[in-house]
């Protein structure tokens, strides 16, 4: 499961960084908040299982995609 979680995180980080190049303003702040949330050990506790982690990453990615379309 560790490899599965790592692959999901890597794919989503690549997508988010790619979208970051297209985003201005709010997208910049969103990426900053996302990265600071994902790297804080206290917040990692909340993402207990790989499934919860995957859902969190996909929701953030979906939100970024919707922001790009606006």
Question: What is the predicted pLDDT for the residue at 52?
Answer: 63
Instruction: Tell me if 19 sits within 8 A of 68, measured CB to CB.
Output: yes
pLDDT of 44 higher than 70: no
Instruction: Tell me if 7 sits within 8 A of 52, measured CB to CB.
Output: no
**Which has the higher per-residue pLDDT, 14 or 43?**
14
Computed over every residue of the chain, the mean pLDDT equals: 66
pLDDT of 68 higher than 60: yes
Question: What is the predicted pLDDT for the residue at 7?
Answer: 75
* Alpha helices, H only, the chain: 2-22, 26-39, 41-44, 50-69
Domain boundaries, the chain: 14-69
């Amino acid at each position: 499961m560790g490899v599965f979680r790592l692959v999901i995180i890597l794919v989503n980080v690549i997508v988010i960084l790619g979208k970051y190049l297209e985003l201005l303003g709010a997208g910049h702040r969103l990426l900053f908040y996302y990265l600071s949330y994902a790297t804080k050990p206290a917040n990692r506790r909340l993402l207990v299982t790989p499934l919860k982690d995957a859902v969190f990453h996909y929701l953030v990615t979906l939100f970024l995609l919707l922001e790009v379309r606006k």
